[in-house]
Structure 1
Amino acid sequence: MKRIGKALLALLLVLALAAGGALLFVRRSLPELSGEVAVSGASQPIEIFRDRHAIPHIYARSREDAYFGLGYAHAQDRLWQMEVNRRLGSGTLSEVFGEEALPQDRLFRTVGLRRVAEENVDHLSPEPRAVLEAYVRGVNAFLSEDPPLPPEFTLFGVEPRPWTPVDSLVWLKVMAWNLSGNWERELFRVRLRGRLSPRQAAEFLAPYPGDAPLVAPAPPEQHGALEGPAKALRAAMRAPIDRAIGSNNWAVDGARTESGKPLLANDPHLELYAPSLWYFAHLRAPGLDVIGATLPSLPAVLLGRNADVAWAFTNTRSDTQDLFIEQLLPSDPSRYMAPDGPRPFTIVRETIKVKGRSDEVIDVRIGRHGPVISDVSEAARRSMPDGQVLSLSWTSLSADDRTLEFPVRAAEARSADDLLAATRNFHSPQQNIVYADASGAIGFIAAGRVPMRRAENDVKGLLPVPGWLDKYDWLGFVPWEELPQSRAPASGRIVTANQKITPPEYRHWISSDWDHPSRAERIEALLDASAAHSVRRFAEIQMDVRSGAAALLLPALLRAATTSDEERRAVERLRAWDMEMRADAAEPLIFATWVRELSRQIYEDELGDLFREGFSERLGFLRNVLSDEEGEGRWCDDLRTADSESCEAVSGMALRRALAYLKATYGDDPARWSWGEAHPAVSQHAVLGGVPVLSRWFDVTVQSSGDNHTVNLGGYWINQDADPFVSRDGPGFRAIYDLGDPERSVFVLSTGQSGHPLSPHYRDQSELWAAGGYAPMTTQRSAVERDAIGKLVLIPR
């Protein structure tokens, strides 16, 4: 036994030494933050100070050198993220991850994100083009040092290639794609119409409050035949149709602040990743002094401020994608019908390298409306009606997209007018840009390209349309002067939270996919509750967790028909609840579970095999059903069997199921239940997230409050069987800009600056973020130097 014990001890010692050696090797891949490095591509020395949060403050003697420094810093801290970014958009993930990544590669090769990015580079104006090329030189200067690489490169056997301008712009295309989901909704509507009447489908996809249900006319014989391909194409999409992706931004003018100058707030809501999608940076050079949120891969402070102007985004949710049914020529399937007669497809051959097997070659067909999207999947291709294909039109596939020019010019804006002028080149995706300047101006514009559809196009982009009829063709884009915009509102405030931003008399079609206005209305109410605002007050609003869903649904839920003391106690508990989705409370968990089970109860039978895809928190729909709006309480009946039940009875059954689920999952004692246990915010590593053992190192998890309809959004996907309330979407960063004293501005990331899991800055902002804290957004050199954890100087060779 002693000999076995000694052998085990020796084995453990060997393993410990091996682990220690591996740890030392991995730690050596952390970037150097201090010293001097000789680099090629810079014109003069560049200083990079990193503050205590590892935010780089880059001091250069020219604009191009400042962006060179940004490229270098991005590569130091986020090289693996950048590698995945460019591979995702270029359709080369399979080269690293094998056959499992093929569906994603086929999609982006077919859509042609990299092809259009190559065209976009050639359309940039000289100054933004020079900035892009300087950034690329900065990334490659780091790569040329043959540096120790982040651990993922070793794990997956990847050697990074030199960076190119197209690699940067292709990530801009991916971001636009993620914020432009109209074609998926068109496919969902096609499938929905196979199970519901047009009127029922319009009720299920509830209209914006105050609008009539949108019943889209459509030729049923065409859409019935698209059920198969719609199902096949949607099968490749992992996320539900209606996710809690949105954002908040708002501004108040000086009449409503303590300083007498505007305040501006922003918190973009996207899927949470580790590291965060965002990366903070400060760039200073002659004529340039900008700080804010960048996207690793891109040479820009996309959201931020300088000394004179600040700007913030939310997604407009505009309809910028249309699907077209193209009719092939029976005698020649390489041609298709157009209003002026047959046309040939342009064929682009794409070769996808696949790890562990032979290359895959696909021929992409491109017509006058765009690429043939039904070729993405073999199942979709086979299930298309004979002689037809589906093509995709999307504003972001324009060769002359110059969106990168906006942040480059915004960084050097000196007034609200300068900022507004820069939005002329913001093309895709359309964003609600709220801005403010130090002179006191506040304004808003929904900047971006939106298709102009003909008056006779009664489908309005809701469903696929015949591509051979010119009445469905776009007439170009809405003129910049006619985009929704405002300046100096009488109310002294501007709020956008993905709600409808067009007045009743607005003549252009923008969207039918506006988010429910409860979040925007809550922000407006909180702004109106104070006469004079400060950074501190804005921070309190950003952390507000009063649920718009609870405010809308709870009065009706409390009328549920209960059958036990347990149910009645739950109802009374919610009756006394303040509707705050706090992590330490049980009531949010009871409410969220009840709504989940009520959703299942109301429409699971009606949707059948489509239920999982459409299972989400449909706030407007549930409100209309529970309040019997226009007779929609009939959804509480079993629409298939015509069995009649009251919504009170259905709510009672849903409550019983909810309580049974909660007891089975969290124990019998409701006093021990908490929203925080069910609803942690999980920022997942894009590749290793959720992988046993490794996820402990690569994922970032913190307690969180909020829900899908709170200002401090904590978005969850109720269609998940496991962990349906885990917060997977949320504010990747928060920022507050004070135009009275820009140095009082603050921001915070959901993770940390570093993309290296062993860096102390991989997750060091996450607890601060969860608690509602912030880091100072300082640009004063004396404060930066005093707070610096390192100073790196890049010396030109």
Structure 2
Amino acid sequence: MGRGSRGRAALAATVTVLASGLAASAAAAGVLQAEGVLPPGQSGFVSLAGLTSGTGSPHLYDQNQMYIDFRRKPLLFQIDRPVGAVETPRPGVTIARDAAGVPAVRAGNEADAWFGAGYAIAQDRLFQLEAFRHATKGRLAELTGSGALADDLVSRRDYYTESERQRMYERLSPRLKTRILAYRDGINAWIDRVRLSPADLPAEYVATATLPTPWTVDDSIAVGIFLARTVPSGDGNELANLRTVQQSGVRALQQLLPLRTTGRRPTIPAADADFSQGRARTAREERDALKRSAAFAQTLPRPSAVAAAAPARKAGLAPGRIGRTGGSYMFAVRRKDGHAFLFNGPQLGFSTPELFVEVEVHWPGHDLRGVTAPGIPVIGIGHNGKVAWGFTSGLSDEDDLYAEKLVPGKPETYIYKGQERQMECRDETFQFKNLAAAVLGGGLPEAGQRTERICRTVHGPVQHREGDVAYARRYAIWMRDVETLEGIVALNDAASIRDVDRAMNLVTWNENVMAADSQGNIGYWHPGLFQQRPKGWDDRLPYPGTGEAEWPGLVDRTRTPRVINPKQGWLANWNNVPTRSWTNGDGESPERVSGAFHRGSFLMDLVRRLHRAPDFEAAKATVQRAGSTAQQRVLAVTRTRLRAAARGATGDAKVVLDTILRWDGDYVRTDARGTIDPGVATWLELKRRAAAIALGRLGDGVKRFDGTPSRSHEYDISPGAAYALRTLKPAELRTAAAAAHGALAERFGTADASAWRDPRKLYDVGAQGAGSAPDLPFFDRGTWEQVIELGP
């Protein structure tokens, strides 16, 4: 049976699962246990008095030690437990805060409830709101200085003008518009209070010589658009792939970035369903497409190293730290008695304060608790008493790069369908200043402006020019980003897994969603807007912009990957592919090409064991194991020739391989001096040496495949190291081990492997304001964590 036939049969099976696989219990049910943690704390408020010390609210850092100790606070509704003092920002709206400072808003109607939410979030994160609206409109340099100009250019170039945002807002439902307006009014009520009360003014306003101005609907829309585009995914790697093909040939691309990597494990079990991104291509069609694209690649100018690295920079340095796609993980497990367990740990990079803020909102018939990004009136991740849900970045390829052939002598004219076309271009002026450096460091204020020319073609914004080619990116979500808010509102309303399924047909972003309901059902969705691939061209390289490689359309949102109540009884995702036939695309998520060594495989093994005897404490133990173990060390024992290499090893190579095999992968456990197991440094060095051997065979164009893992996954594996572990023979691994021994002996000043102990690694905690980032030992864990049990 061909891949397309298998996909159609599996899809039919999935429809059956979605229609009839739901638990039948109608008994009263709900959230039975719920715990979570948001390090370093709920608040971002630094007082004027605390400007130089980074102090202010008692809830700036109060969850940090809790997180380090793998403890969490209750996430049940505050109505079920004692709360602190109650505030009434206007008649009919009350705000109570628990011991962690988390606000619970109660009101008699939906608009008043979201007014209260806006007011409470502004209390906690007013300057973060300021930074977000500047960043998402390409004005961050006005607050922080010229260092933000590159990010501001991306924001204005690849996103929208104010009039375009207004058109998107006008298409929203009356209900969502009312909610956005009420949320705006709540923020502004607190701003009015702050302008009359200097003690409540965040210190960052003094440092930047600004004052809070009224929040607008456009501010919320800009933040919502940015989150919908950048948190789920980033731009593609077509230019980097083009450079690889031109330097090292098609074989290098096929070896290191295949469309499907051997040994990879999808979230949706093959026994339940299979999906492809539009029409599935045969193996022959894929080979022909690569041959055609490779030939076209040879006609294009070679991209510079800087241009090839630009998409990675964009994904890792999103303006204002919004949308840093470090990864995320989640799992759901069913128990035979109708209970279900859900965990979610979104990994968006730790900072003071965090991207997320907690809030609880109640109005008649609606109860919500969870986290959201300041600026948008929805609960992003959380529960409503009947359903709990979580997100991870989908990281699928929902955009493509088009090589536009420029007309000689006309830099803003290109050829499309045999005709000359004029780009849509405009000049954008960027202001910058940095008074914060002068206030805090005694330096001189910085100020100035820069004007940039921004252009679009029929395919989208022009992101790069090289010779006679302009590269324009086409986004499947273009001008539909804000529709995702409608889907999240429907998700917040869901009373069952079936309701979640309907809500996922409304979102346009590519966040993986996992949910569990109070009747013991679990489900997973890989939703959003995806382009159907042009049949004759390869996913990994730029398409010609001449009109011969256009998308046939978008994938029907009801046919995006999803499953409810899989036969195995559990689900797990750590940014791995959603389903068997899904391709790696252009490698926008480089770790996906690691195949059997992807961190998702490690999580799946843990969750499969949890499913044998699932309970709340066992779920928390699973999280602790996942967040403190170098995943690939565990996977390498059973999925490589590591043991075979050790059996034949002698001398230095034997010392290295035996040290790794004795180590259980834990990088948290320390000795009296605060140093970690020697297996950590030994494993890292072996991976580097093995990758050097394997990649050395493929030419200079593949060096990027041995890049550094993201700061959320410091002990993760690079594509190059994964390729080495898949392909090197035992003798070659012994050669790598011997080289690793020499490097380690030199670094530590001894050949005694027991002394190869590094200090416990600290996480790189950033700052989104004047808060002083506390020390945080490294864990491969969520920025926010929730563990929830639901049942009758």
TM-score, normalization by structure 1 = 0.74
Task: Determine the structure 1 residue equivalent to 2:508.
Answer: 427
Task: Determine the structure 1 residue equivalent to 2:107.
Answer: 60
Alpha-carbon displacement from aligned partner over 1:305-326 (angstroms, at most 9, x marks no partner): 1111111112222101111111
> Partner letter of residue 477 of structure 2?
S
Task: Determine the structure 1 residue equivalent to 2:242.
Answer: 190
| Cα RMSD, aligned residues only | 3.7
Task: Determine the structure 2 residue equivalent to 1:459.
Answer: 538
Alpha-carbon displacement from aligned partner over 1:100-130 (angstroms, at most 9, x marks no partner): 2211111211112455544322221111111
Q: What's the secondary structure of 1:454's corresponding residue?
A: coil
Shift of 1:290: 0.6
State yes or no: 1:439 paired with 2:486: no
CA contact (8 A) 1:562 1:652 kept: no
CA contact (8 A) 1:405 1:425 kept: yes
- Aligned-partner Cα distance in 1 for 2:300–2:657: 47
Alpha-carbon displacement from aligned partner over 1:348-400 (angstroms, at most 9, x marks no partner): 332212234543233322221111112xxxxxx4xx123x2111111232247
Shift of 1:466: 0.9
- In the alignment of these two chains, the number of paired residues is 654
- Aligned-partner Cα distance in 2 for 1:169–1:605: 49
Task: Determine the structure 1 residue equivalent to 2:271.
Answer: none
Structure 1 residues 224, 541: CA separation in 2 closer, same or farther (over 3 Å shift)?
A: farther
Summarize the alignment of residues 615-764 of structure 1 with structure 2, pairs less than 5 Å apart.
615-616=707-708, 618=717, 621-628=720-727, 646-661=732-747, 663=748, 674=757, 677-686=759-768, 698-705=772-779, 714=780, 730-740=781-791
Equivalent of 1:122, from 165, 170, 176?
170
Summarize the alignment of residues 308-327 of structure 1 with structure 2, pairs less than 5 Å apart.
308-327=386-405
Q: What's the secondary structure of 1:529's corresponding residue?
A: helix
Task: Determine the structure 1 residue equivalent to 2:342.
Answer: 264
Q: What's the secondary structure of 1:427's corresponding residue?
A: coil
Task: Determine the structure 2 residue equivalent to 1:209.
Answer: 262
CA contact (8 A) 2:416 2:545 kept: yes
- Aligned-partner Cα distance in 2 for 1:245–1:24: 30
> Partner letter of residue 459 of structure 1?
D
State yes or no: 1:298 paired with 2:376: yes
> Partner letter of residue 740 of structure 1?
G
> Partner letter of residue 480 of structure 1?
R
State yes or no: 1:416 paired with 2:497: yes
Task: Determine the structure 2 residue equivalent to 1:17.
Answer: none
Structure 1 residues 226, 78: CA separation in 2 closer, same or farther (over 3 Å shift)?
A: farther
TM-score, normalization by structure 2 = 0.74
Task: Determine the structure 2 residue equivalent to 1:768.
Answer: none
Equivalent of 1:526, from 599, 606, 612?
606
Task: Determine the structure 2 residue equivalent to 1:164.
Answer: 216
Q: What's the secondary structure of 1:349's corresponding residue?
A: strand
Shift of 1:525: 2.9
CA contact (8 A) 2:346 2:783 kept: yes
> Partner letter of residue 140 of structure 2?
L
Shift of 1:672: 6.0
Task: Determine the structure 2 residue equivalent to 1:231.
Answer: 306
State yes or no: 1:346 paired with 2:421: no
Q: Unmatched 5+ residue regions in structure 2?
A: 1-46, 60-82, 265-282, 318-323, 434-445, 671-675, 710-716
- Aligned-partner Cα distance in 2 for 1:336–1:72: 50
Shift of 1:565: 6.0
Q: What's the secondary structure of 1:328's corresponding residue?
A: strand
CA contact (8 A) 2:517 2:791 kept: no
- Aligned-partner Cα distance in 2 for 1:340–1:24: 61
- Aligned-partner Cα distance in 1 for 2:692–2:586: 31
Shift of 1:484: 0.8
- Aligned-partner Cα distance in 1 for 2:461–2:243: 22
Shift of 1:179: 4.0
Structure 1 residues 455, 570: CA separation in 2 closer, same or farther (over 3 Å shift)?
A: closer
Task: Determine the structure 2 residue equivalent to 1:15.
Answer: none
Summarize the alignment of residues 14-33 of structure 1 with structure 2, pairs less than 5 Å apart.
22-23=49-50, 30=57
> Partner letter of residue 739 of structure 1?
L
State yes or no: 1:574 paired with 2:660: yes
Structure 1 residues 291, 185: CA separation in 2 closer, same or farther (over 3 Å shift)?
A: same
Alpha-carbon displacement from aligned partner over 1:248-279 (angstroms, at most 9, x marks no partner): 22212241xxx632211111122222222111
Summarize the alignment of residues 237-386 of structure 1 with structure 2, pairs less than 5 Å apart.
238=313, 245-255=326-336, 260-330=338-408, 332-339=410-417, 341-355=419-433, 356-374=446-464, 381=465, 384-386=466-468
Shift of 1:561: 11
CA contact (8 A) 1:561 1:649 kept: no
Task: Determine the structure 1 residue equivalent to 2:624.
Answer: 543
CA contact (8 A) 1:395 1:450 kept: yes
Task: Determine the structure 1 residue equivalent to 2:146.
Answer: 99
Alpha-carbon displacement from aligned partner over 1:181-221 (angstroms, at most 9, x marks no partner): 56441122122223322111221236422489987442456
- Aligned-partner Cα distance in 2 for 1:328–1:21: 54
Q: What's the secondary structure of 1:158's corresponding residue?
A: coil
- Aligned-partner Cα distance in 2 for 1:553–1:269: 24
Percent of paired sites with the same residue:
23
- Aligned-partner Cα distance in 2 for 1:659–1:27: 42
Shift of 1:658: 3.3
Equivalent of 1:591, from 671, 675, 683?
683
- Aligned-partner Cα distance in 2 for 1:168–1:542: 34
Q: What's the secondary structure of 1:162's corresponding residue?
A: coil
> Partner letter of residue 373 of structure 1?
Q
Q: What's the secondary structure of 1:440's corresponding residue?
A: coil
CA contact (8 A) 1:68 1:134 kept: yes
Structure 1 residues 684, 114: CA separation in 2 closer, same or farther (over 3 Å shift)?
A: farther
CA contact (8 A) 2:340 2:518 kept: yes
Structure 1 residues 416, 552: CA separation in 2 closer, same or farther (over 3 Å shift)?
A: closer
- Aligned-partner Cα distance in 1 for 2:635–2:773: 34
Q: What's the secondary structure of 2:347's corresponding residue?
A: strand
Structure 1 residues 245, 357: CA separation in 2 closer, same or farther (over 3 Å shift)?
A: closer
Alpha-carbon displacement from aligned partner over 1:644-702 (angstroms, at most 9, x marks no partner): x93421332133213433x16xx887656556x242223211467xxxxxxxx622322
Task: Determine the structure 2 residue equivalent to 1:708.
Answer: none
CA contact (8 A) 2:497 2:515 kept: yes
Shift of 1:285: 0.8
Task: Determine the structure 1 residue equivalent to 2:19.
Answer: none
- Aligned-partner Cα distance in 2 for 1:414–1:141: 33
Task: Determine the structure 1 residue equivalent to 2:558.
Answer: 481
Q: Unmatched 5+ residue regions in structure 1?
A: 1-19, 375-380, 637-644, 689-696, 706-713, 715-729, 742-797
Structure 1 residues 177, 597: CA separation in 2 closer, same or farther (over 3 Å shift)?
A: farther
CA contact (8 A) 1:240 1:614 kept: no
Q: What's the secondary structure of 2:552's corresponding residue?
A: strand
Shift of 1:412: 1.9
Shift of 1:233: 6.1
Q: What's the secondary structure of 2:113's corresponding residue?
A: helix
CA contact (8 A) 1:309 1:436 kept: yes
Structure 1 residues 27, 275: CA separation in 2 closer, same or farther (over 3 Å shift)?
A: closer
CA contact (8 A) 1:597 1:657 kept: no
- Aligned-partner Cα distance in 1 for 2:775–2:53: 22
Shift of 1:301: 0.7
Structure 1 residues 478, 331: CA separation in 2 closer, same or farther (over 3 Å shift)?
A: same
- Aligned-partner Cα distance in 2 for 1:21–1:354: 24
Shift of 1:508: 12
Q: What's the secondary structure of 1:373's corresponding residue?
A: strand
